[in-house]
Structure 1
Amino acid sequence: MGLIENDAGTTITNGYVPSYKYPQRYLGQARPIRIVMVGAGVTGIAAVKLYKDVFPQREVEFVIYEKNDDITGTWLENRYPGCACDVPAHAYSYSWEGNPRWSRVYVEALELYDYYKGRAAKYGIQEFVKLNHRVESTTWDNEAGKWVVNITDLKTGESFRDEAELFINGAGFLNNWKWPEIPGLHDYKGKLLHSARWDDSYDFKDKTLAIIGSGSSAIQIVPQLQPVVKHMTSINRSKTWITPEFAAEFAPEGRAAFFSEIQKDNWEKNKDEYLKYRKSVESTMNNFFPMQFKNSDSQKAAYENFQKTMKERLGYNEDLISKLVPEFEVGCRRITPGHGYLEALASHNVTVRNDNIERVTAEGLKMADGSIIAVDALICATGFDTSYRPNFPVIGFNGDLRDIWKDEPKAYFSLAAAGIPNYFIMSGPNFPLANGCLIPCLETNIKFAFAAAKKIQYDGIKWLSPKQDAVDDYQEYKDSIMEDLVWTGSCASWYKNGKRDGKVWGPYSGSSLHYLELMSTPRWEDFDIEYLARNRYDFLGNGRTRRELEGGDLAYYVQEPGAGLSQESS
């Protein structure tokens, strides 16, 4: 009698396949799984709240590894002078819970830290997060159907491994700060600082300094330090649109717009009035996407208005106008409402240069024209690694995602990658980071990952990952619509890998509302799926349901208009 094993692992005897035997469990009986997440920032904190909503019986294990000794991510790490939220704080709260006691419209880093720290305590994050734990690598074990995660306890130096059916990378897109690649940078003997690793103990009073960068961090730092230093040299290698405050109609006094105690008390007591205010702010933030189309009327109007106001704020100084006012489309690079920035650059104790740095010396900067700028302090406001490659090896079916995305990060709607099973990215490539509301889009990423977890848990699935052709089709669509959006304009930007003609992998290819609607219902038809059993319908079990076996309303679907009998719906 010949024995053969087929691809499904079923033994065939003389060409006969034994009949399938159903399992002894009911339909909807969940299997235990574990989720590992990296990062306890704004997204990680939200994940704890949503985890409790989605898995109220704790039938799924959940742990978050955080490399820092505290939570909140961005608002813990970024404490440079002037660090604040660009958008109104009431549009930078979780969708399910605002904060009626924000001190002002545009709040600073410490207040944001306190708020999110408070939300984390309320949601009980301490039960799930392990601080001072750095993920070193994660590898998919297909035989076990699990991620093998290698972790270092940064306090003890000990390494260990964890395993999970699903892995969520919530490290964030502006997390891995980096020094600029300038020869001799670490030969400098003065005070060297990076905007993402600030030293509050250094006194800038009467010092000479140079600041490299013209992005959002530099734009917030410059007006804070200009009044106290002896002299500042600002190296503006790229032009940036400096705009009025976002949703400025809610802050007529700009950054000085504080809320009174009477107003905060009223919002706290009158929930309907507060909700109306929150929705009005959020609606305004979601109503500027038409400006992102290159030839739209709103784009043309913004170009004219912002150019005019920038020239005014520079005192019509032609030298500064030539160095600072962009000619490219508004929004091609990140637009920033720079409160006091242009006025600071036009001050008597500031020199603006836009020529190249040849190298850093022990005393300061040697410029391409041979001149030396000697300074007491050198600030690098040069940002982060924006390649979207993970900070650690993520090894799936086709190797390390860092290698796969070496030249271009191609994601499935920002949150997953082909060939990387049961892996979800929070705010990955082409996420709505400049498209309208931000926080709800982070929330929908978490919800999508948890929906995948439930599908894996209840439908007998070993793994799922987006099909390569689904990823390719989205990339084709995205590249097509981007041709009409400002991000493919005539500037060089990190949105497109620092190039003028690169593909856009920063913002999403539509409005934030477009993204929320798209992601609200997972398109599982876009995913490759492997089941735990040979028969994909193994999850149907023994033909019974939980209601039948454990008690419940066996006529839950029967309704009668006007009847007062309570109806069980689950």
Structure 2
Amino acid sequence: MSGPSVIIIGAGPSGIAAGYNLLHRHGVSNFTIFERADVGGTWSLNKYPGCGCDVMSHLYSFSFNLNPNWSKELCERDEILQYINDTVDKFGLRKYIHTKIEVESASWNETTNQWDVNLIDLKTGVHFTRSSQILFSCVGAIATPKDIVTPGHETFPGPLFHTARWDDSADLTGKRVAVVGNGCSGSQTVPRIAEKAAHVTHFARSGQWYHERPNHPYSAFQKWVFRNVPFAMRYLRYKIFNSADSLYYSYLDSDYSARIREQAEEGAKAYIRATAPKKYHDVLIPDFPLGCKRRVFDPGYLQALHRPNVDLVWEAVDHIDGSTLVTPSGRQEDFDVVVMATGFKVQEFLVPIRFYGVGGKELADHWKETRGAQAYGGTTVHGFPNFAIIFGPNSFPAHNSVIYTAEVQVEYACKTIVEAVASGRADIVDVKQAAEDADALDVQLKLKGTVWSAGCSNWYLNEFGRNTASYPGLASDYWMHLLWPHYQDYHLEGAHKFWRLRAIYRLLRYMVPKTVYQMVATLAALAFVLKHHSTVYSLRNFLLNR
């Protein structure tokens, strides 16, 4: 095993990106990935009917493993999970992954300058500890569902569960099913449940901006093009990335943003009116600006509202009395099954794991001092040395691929922490408190006036009105922000005498060859485009306009 020791928490897309980067870009094989469930993270845990992604698959994929075989533009859970597992096997990562192992807590040991990670084997119940020089948290934000707190829920005699903890033993055929919540998961699951349930009642209390979800299946010839035409997939991915990134401009506080937001809202309104039953138009169309909540690209939900066995009730569930759900207005209805599509604990970063840094200070207490979670570049926190949070505070893209964001953060953490320790530049890498605070304050200032603070109930804002989720810029800006280590903002301790020589050696062995390859590939692509611009333009129309 080569390189410094690293423990990675989570084997979802972020953890896999971390493992790939360590092994194939930085020559570090001395790492272990612990996963409480199975490989795939949120795509392993979320298995409700209709579960899918609203970011195009050619972008919602690893940059180091493009997939020419996606079946359609927006793939569903099973295909995504298979792709993730194929990636693990293709790059030899499975032998580093230990599943059904849950991390309970992690503490920085100031005597050994290592992280002591406390774990439990979920199969045997055995508690044990492992230590490492570096710790990556790759647990993600969409990992822990909100608790079911509806009064009386414990009295319900039938199956009652969250979409993120789908009960496979619950047969919905011929049953009366209640679905509570109309975000992405609620909108995805209602059409599928309605196909087999006797009746579905959907409880919702807030409008959503529903958009058309064209989902073109890729033909065999298109897949052949992706496999065999140089840079065809890269070009398509680039176009999708730019299109998704441009959505950010509709979320700002400017006249230009207001105009493009209004155009998008009018398009969504027209789609809702053309697709949903007329009796629901007034409640479905939101009274908040587009983007205040995450957009919903309609997976057939509005059309499903026409079904005779589907009702939309525009109220919350006040309480449950046995098999009866009661609303604030007094409406009562009996059900056989209740499905809670009420979202995740996005604001409670890293729960339920407890992290203790320098002096035994808990990360949750550190964040209480800042009115919510914050991290330098969304990645590192003062007082928690050699620790990186992947998909941490204020790293969420407006409507882009979270896998892209995770890869950006992973590479930054590897360059900043892993390379420093591996080269001997430092044994301890800890971001300065002033740097963390200044970066976090700059983020909050840039978020002022954006649609995320427009007054709707969303998961971007915490109880103090602080946006701890969104990144205030383009995804490409985020990449630029984290492109290189900013060691002036870090406290480095424990430099070795010949660290510069070791750093040069590592640079030449691991990083320069890949950089040169990427530069050559980019220049070759550019030369091809310039020489065959008419062919490329025709290919573009074929790939994008079909």
Distance (whole Å) between structure 2 residues aligned to residue 113 and residue 544 of structure 1: 42
Say whether 1:522 aligns with 2:485. Answer: yes
Distance (whole Å) between structure 1 residues aligned to residue 127 and residue 159 of structure 2: 35
Equivalent residue, structure 2, for 1:485:
450
Q: Aligned AA for 1:269?
A: N
Equivalent residue, structure 2, for 1:61:
30
Show the 5 A alignment for 1:37-76.
37-56=8-27, 58=28, 61-68=30-37, 70-76=38-44
2:480 alignment partner, SS class? helix
Does the aligned pair in 2 maintain the 1:209–1:379 contact within 8 Å? yes
**Structure 1 residue 201: deviation in Å?**
4.0
Equivalent residue, structure 1, for 2:402:
438
Equivalent residue, structure 2, for 1:35:
6
Question: Which is further off, 129-138 or 397-406?
Answer: 397-406
Equivalent residue, structure 1, for 2:428:
463
Superimposed CA distance per residue, residues 232-289 of structure 1 (whole angstroms, 9 cap, x where no aligned partner): 22111222211123xxxxxxxx23x211222212321223333322322222222222
Distance (whole Å) between structure 2 residues aligned to residue 127 and residue 194 of structure 1: 32
Q: Aligned AA for 1:244?
A: E
Distance (whole Å) between structure 2 residues aligned to residue 545 and residue 133 of structure 1: 35
Q: Aligned AA for 2:243?
A: T
The CA RMSD over aligned residues, in Å, is 2.4
Q: TM-score, normalised by structure 1?
A: 0.83
Q: Aligned AA for 2:260?
A: S
Distance (whole Å) between structure 1 residues aligned to residue 333 and residue 394 of structure 2: 39
**Structure 1 residue 316: deviation in Å?**
3.0
Match of 2:310 among 350, 357, 379: 350
Equivalent residue, structure 1, for 2:441:
476
Superimposed CA distance per residue, residues 327-370 of structure 1 (whole angstroms, 9 cap, x where no aligned partner): 11111111110122122234433332233322112113122223
Give % identity: 27
2:452 alignment partner, SS class? helix
Does the aligned pair in 1 maintain the 2:9–2:35 contact within 8 Å? yes
**Structure 1 residue 156: deviation in Å?**
2.1
Q: Aligned AA for 2:358?
A: F
Comparing both structures, which one devotes a greater share of its residues to helix? Answer: 2
Distance (whole Å) between structure 2 residues aligned to residue 314 and residue 545 of structure 1: 64
Equivalent residue, structure 1, for 2:518:
none
1:521 alignment partner, SS class? coil
1:114 alignment partner, SS class? helix
Match of 1:327 among 287, 295, 317: 287
Equivalent residue, structure 2, for 1:284:
243
Q: Against the structure 1 CA distance between its residues 46 and 545, is the aligned structure 2 distance closer, same or farther, given a 3 Å change threshold? A: closer
1:328 alignment partner, SS class? coil
Equivalent residue, structure 2, for 1:562:
none
Extract unaligned runs of 5+ from structure 1: 1-30, 246-253, 553-570
**Structure 1 residue 212: deviation in Å?**
0.5
Equivalent residue, structure 2, for 1:126:
94
Does the aligned pair in 2 maintain the 1:389–1:401 contact within 8 Å? no
Count of matched residue pairs: 498
Distance (whole Å) between structure 1 residues aligned to residue 219 and residue 88 of structure 2: 26
Does the aligned pair in 2 maintain the 1:435–1:512 contact within 8 Å? no
Superimposed CA distance per residue, residues 420-471 of structure 1 (whole angstroms, 9 cap, x where no aligned partner): 1111101011113324343222111111121111112324423222222222
Q: Aligned AA for 2:396?
A: P
Does the aligned pair in 2 maintain the 1:226–1:350 contact within 8 Å? yes
Does the aligned pair in 2 maintain the 1:48–1:124 contact within 8 Å? no
Question: Which is further off, 165-174 or 518-527?
Answer: 518-527
Equivalent residue, structure 1, for 2:300:
340
Superimposed CA distance per residue, residues 203-226 of structure 1 (whole angstroms, 9 cap, x where no aligned partner): 323321111011110010111122
Extract unaligned runs of 5+ from structure 2: 510-546
Say whether 1:505 aligns with 2:465. Answer: no
Match of 1:405 among 367, 375, 378: 367
**Structure 1 residue 374: deviation in Å?**
0.7
Q: Against the structure 1 CA distance between its residues 269 and 544, is the aligned structure 2 distance closer, same or farther, given a 3 Å change threshold? A: closer
2:231 alignment partner, SS class? helix
Superimposed CA distance per residue, residues 544-570 of structure 1 (whole angstroms, 9 cap, x where no aligned partner): 88999xxx9xxxxxxxxxxxxxxxxxx
Distance (whole Å) between structure 2 residues aligned to residue 380 and residue 544 of structure 1: 57
**Structure 1 residue 101: deviation in Å?**
0.7
Does the aligned pair in 1 maintain the 2:55–2:401 contact within 8 Å? no
Does the aligned pair in 1 maintain the 2:36–2:102 contact within 8 Å? yes
2:151 alignment partner, SS class? coil
Q: Against the structure 1 CA distance between its residues 454 and 483, is the aligned structure 2 distance closer, same or farther, given a 3 Å change threshold? A: same
Does the aligned pair in 2 maintain the 1:136–1:393 contact within 8 Å? yes
Distance (whole Å) between structure 2 residues aligned to residue 544 and residue 231 of structure 1: 70
Equivalent residue, structure 2, for 1:112:
80
Q: Aligned AA for 1:383?
A: G
**Structure 1 residue 152: deviation in Å?**
1.4
Q: Against the structure 1 CA distance between its residues 97 and 374, is the aligned structure 2 distance closer, same or farther, given a 3 Å change threshold? A: same
2:210 alignment partner, SS class? coil
**Structure 1 residue 230: deviation in Å?**
2.5
Equivalent residue, structure 2, for 1:312:
274
Does the aligned pair in 1 maintain the 2:35–2:98 contact within 8 Å? yes
Question: Which is further off, 226-235 or 377-386?
Answer: 226-235
Say whether 1:243 aligns with 2:205. Answer: no
Show the 5 A alignment for 1:125-144.
125-144=93-112
Equivalent residue, structure 2, for 1:392:
353
Distance (whole Å) between structure 2 residues aligned to residue 505 and residue 78 of structure 1: 24
| Structure with larger Rg | 1
Distance (whole Å) between structure 2 residues aligned to residue 279 and residue 37 of structure 1: 29
Does the aligned pair in 1 maintain the 2:420–2:427 contact within 8 Å? no
Superimposed CA distance per residue, residues 103-127 of structure 1 (whole angstroms, 9 cap, x where no aligned partner): 1111110011111100100111122
Distance (whole Å) between structure 1 residues aligned to residue 330 and residue 401 of structure 2: 46
Say whether 1:429 aligns with 2:393. Answer: yes
Q: TM-score, normalised by structure 2?
A: 0.86
Distance (whole Å) between structure 2 residues aligned to residue 193 and residue 388 of structure 1: 21
Question: Which is further off, 446-455 or 110-119?
Answer: 446-455
2:30 alignment partner, SS class? strand
Equivalent residue, structure 1, for 2:532:
none
1:365 alignment partner, SS class? strand
Q: Aligned AA for 1:361?
A: D
Q: Against the structure 1 CA distance between its residues 489 and 335, is the aligned structure 2 distance closer, same or farther, given a 3 Å change threshold? A: same
2:460 alignment partner, SS class? helix
Q: Aligned AA for 1:330?
A: L
Does the aligned pair in 1 maintain the 2:55–2:400 contact within 8 Å? no
Equivalent residue, structure 2, for 1:419:
383
Does the aligned pair in 1 maintain the 2:347–2:460 contact within 8 Å? no
Distance (whole Å) between structure 1 residues aligned to residue 402 and residue 81 of structure 2: 17
Equivalent residue, structure 1, for 2:498:
540
Q: Aligned AA for 1:328?
A: F
2:145 alignment partner, SS class? coil
Match of 2:341 among 378, 381, 385: 381
Show the 5 A alignment for 1:2-13.
none
Does the aligned pair in 2 maintain the 1:436–1:511 contact within 8 Å? no
1:211 alignment partner, SS class? strand
Q: Aligned AA for 1:270?
A: V
Match of 1:302 among 260, 264, 274: 264
Say whether 1:215 aligns with 2:183. Answer: yes
Does the aligned pair in 2 maintain the 1:138–1:395 contact within 8 Å? yes
1:440 alignment partner, SS class? helix
Distance (whole Å) between structure 2 residues aligned to residue 48 and residue 324 of structure 1: 43
Equivalent residue, structure 2, for 1:178:
146
Does the aligned pair in 1 maintain the 2:247–2:398 contact within 8 Å? no
Runs of 4+ in 1 over 4 A off after TM superposition: 543-548
Distance (whole Å) between structure 1 residues aligned to residue 179 and residue 92 of structure 2: 41
Q: Aligned AA for 1:392?
A: I
Distance (whole Å) between structure 2 residues aligned to residue 32 and residue 374 of structure 1: 60
Q: Aligned AA for 2:13?
A: V
Distance (whole Å) between structure 1 residues aligned to residue 119 and residue 249 of structure 2: 45
